């Protein structure tokens, strides 16, 4: 590492890199963007010029071999997360990996192994954990105020919010809303529950709506939208059991004919319950039911996430969203697809 700055390489210079990771790094006085690569070299060059980034690497291997790089942000399509993370770890570079960790459990295991063997800091980009309201929920759960958490209900319904681009091509994404937005809500809720060990999943996935021409709707758009393929599910629901007897239900959709929701996460404990968005605590005081609202400020979750990554590197701390957390969530995500395909509950 250079004396006072952590030198960052950006792998994959598309939407999330340009609109979330790069702006967040630019706000950090102890980070410096030194390298970038992309399958489209012209895109990497544009980004390098715009932000004064010294190196445009030809590919992942060249980027991770650069002396001027201490750490990388992996912002590629999902099908390159494993390759990039393993190459970076073997080259001794710290890794912040966008969600989902990988496309398969085998890939996620290999990533964790490479990170453990090299001793680098590996952090999953589970950005919703870094929201101000999420941090409040986690702290309230850790205080013991909720008692034993035995059930949780989570989800995210978009009515017509299928992302455009590689997301709907299973060879690049690994799946649809389960792996794209289910990963956020399932991870967040599991984290709020105290990360119990997942043991089984029963789920259904629906391939019903596919592509559509609905007007007046907003969609996440990847930087390339040529050659569109639609072979992912457009909604899914299921039930996850944990070793401690607790369970979680989830519902997710990119497209469904029903009411749109934001990310919701309802946590039910023996002493109190708590919900995300709107943030609310459901308890009892002096034999009365009491609903209360923790007051939290506005924070930028991507900046919080990147700050945490840099702090973990500097202090040698394990990130709150570790490689092992990524692996546990990957097991659930792939378990959902296995259960849906087989039409029965699967053990993880
Ligand atoms: N945390 C969040 O809320 C959030 C939101 C959107 C996307 N994401 C994640 O970010 C990642 C990127 O999504 P996006 O929307 O930015 O997509 P995008 O298509 O806009 O950008 C991805 C970029 O990666 C490049 N790329 C792909 N494979 C590569 C490889 N092997 N080597 C180098 N470059 C490669 C592409 O050319 C493209 O420029 C995905 O994993 C996605 O799940 C996270």
Q: Which tokens hold the place of 203?
A: 């789920």
Give 4's pLDDT tier (boundaries 50, 70, 90): confident
Distance 312 CA to ligand 1 centre (A): 24
**Which protein residue has the closest C-alpha to ligand 1 atom 27?**
76
Instruction: Kindly report whether the peptide bond that precedes residue 65 is cis, defined as omega within 30 degrees of 0.
Output: no
Distance 196 CA to ligand 1 centre (A): 30
Task: Say if residue 208's pLDDT is above 70.
Answer: yes
For 184, the enclosing helix (H) or strand (E) is helix 183-192
Q: 33-51: per-residue pLDDT in tens?
A: 999 999 999 999 999 999 9
Same domain, 245 and 264: yes
Task: Say if residue 1's pLDDT is above 60.
Answer: no
Residue 197 within a domain? yes
Distance 77 CA to ligand 1 centre (A): 4
Same domain, 290 and 156: yes
Give 330's pLDDT tier (boundaries 50, 70, 90): very high
Share of the chain above pLDDT 70, in %: 99
Residue 307 within a domain? no
Give 3's pLDDT tier (boundaries 50, 70, 90): low
Same domain, 274 and 334: yes
Distance 86 CA to ligand 1 centre (A): 17
Segments forming the whole domain that contains residue 89: 6-125
Among 76, 78, 158, 168, say which to mutate for ligand 1: greatest number of ligand atoms within 8 Å of CB.
Answer: 76
* pLDDT confidence of residue 151: 99
Domain tally, the chain: 2
Same domain, 113 and 177: no
Task: Please report, for the domain that includes residue 203, its CATH number.
Answer: 3.30.360.10
Same domain, 101 and 169: no
189/124 Cα distance (integer angstroms): 16
| Ligand 1 pocket, CB under 6 A | 11-17, 37-40, 43, 60, 75-78, 80, 98-99, 125, 127, 165-166, 222-224
Q: 241-272: per-residue pLDDT in tens?
A: 999 999 999 999 999 999 999 999 999 999 99
Residue 102 within a domain? yes
pTM exceeds cut of 0.75: yes
Share of the chain above pLDDT 90, in %: 97
Same domain, 118 and 135: no
Torsion sign over Cα 76, 82, 83, 88: positive
Residue 135 within a domain? yes
Task: Say if residue 7's pLDDT is above 70.
Answer: yes
Task: Say if residue 152's pLDDT is above 90.
Answer: yes
* pLDDT confidence of residue 240: 98
Distance 287 CA to ligand 1 centre (A): 51
Opening angle at CA 327, ends 321 and 331, nearest 5: 130
Residue 45 within a domain? yes
Distance 14 CA to ligand 1 centre (A): 6
Give 80's pLDDT tier (boundaries 50, 70, 90): very high
**Which protein residue has the closest C-alpha to ligand 1 atom 11?**
75
Task: Please report, for the domain that includes residue 60, its CATH number.
Answer: 3.40.50.720
Sheet containing 247-253: order of strands: 288-292, 280-285, 273-276, 264-269, 149-157, 247-253, 235-242, 198-206, 346-347
Same domain, 73 and 87: yes
Task: Say if residue 178's pLDDT is above 80.
Answer: yes
Q: CA dist 6 to 66, 291, 312, 319, Å?
A: 13, 44, 11, 16
228: number of Cβ within 10 Å: 13
Task: Say if residue 290's pLDDT is above 80.
Answer: yes
Task: Say if residue 2's pLDDT is above 80.
Answer: no
Taking residues 161-186, what's their average pLDDT?
97
Give 91's pLDDT tier (boundaries 50, 70, 90): very high
**Which protein residue has the closest C-alpha to ligand 1 atom 39?**
14
CA torsion angle 242 305 79 238 (round to 10): 30
Task: Say if residue 342's pLDDT is above 80.
Answer: yes
**Which protein residue has the closest C-alpha to ligand 1 atom 19?**
222
């Amino acid at each position: 590492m250079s004396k006072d700055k952590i030198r960052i390489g950006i792998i994959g210079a598309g939407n999330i890199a340009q609109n979330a990771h790069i702006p967040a790094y630019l706000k950090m006085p102890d980070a410096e963007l030194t390298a970038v690569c992309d399958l489209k070299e012209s895109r990497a060059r544009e980004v390098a010029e715009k932000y004064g980034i010294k190196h445009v690497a030809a590919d992942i291997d060249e980027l991770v071999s650069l002396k001027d790089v201490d750490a990388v942000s992996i912002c590629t399509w999902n099908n390159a997360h494993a390759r990039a993370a393993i190459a970076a770890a073997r080259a001794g570079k710290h890794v912040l990996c966008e969600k989902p960790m990988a496309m398969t459990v085998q890939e996620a295991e290999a990533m964790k192994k490479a990170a453990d063997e090299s001793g680098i800091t590996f952090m999953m980009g589970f950005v919703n954990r870094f929201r101000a309201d999420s941090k409040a929920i986690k702290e309230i759960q850790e205080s013991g105020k909720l008692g034993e958490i035995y059930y949780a209900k989570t989800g995210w319904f978009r009515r017509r919010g299928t992302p455009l681009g590689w997301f709907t091509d299973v060879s690049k994404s690994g799946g649809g809303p389960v792996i794209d937005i289910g990963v956020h809500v399932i991870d967040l809720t599991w984290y709020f529950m105290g990360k119990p060990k997942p043991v089984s999943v029963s789920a259904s996935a629906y391939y019903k709506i596919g592509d559509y021409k609905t007007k007046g709707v907003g969609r996440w758009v990847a930087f390339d939208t040529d050659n569109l393929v639609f072979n992912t599910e457009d909604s899914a629901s299921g039930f996850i059991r944990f070793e401690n007897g607790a369970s979680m239900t989830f519902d997710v959709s990119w497209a469904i004919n029903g009411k749109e929701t934001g990310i919701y996460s309802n946590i039910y404990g023996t002493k109190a319950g708590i919900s995300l968005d709107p943030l609310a605590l459901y308890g009892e005081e002096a034999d009365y039911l009491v609903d209360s609202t923790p007051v939290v400020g506005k924070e930028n979750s991507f900046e919080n996430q990147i700050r945490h990554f840099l702090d973990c590197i500097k202090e040698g701390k394990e990130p709150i969203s570790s490689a092992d957390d990524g692996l546990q969530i990957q097991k659930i995500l792939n378990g959902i697809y296995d259960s849906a395909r087989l039409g029965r509950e699967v053990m993880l």
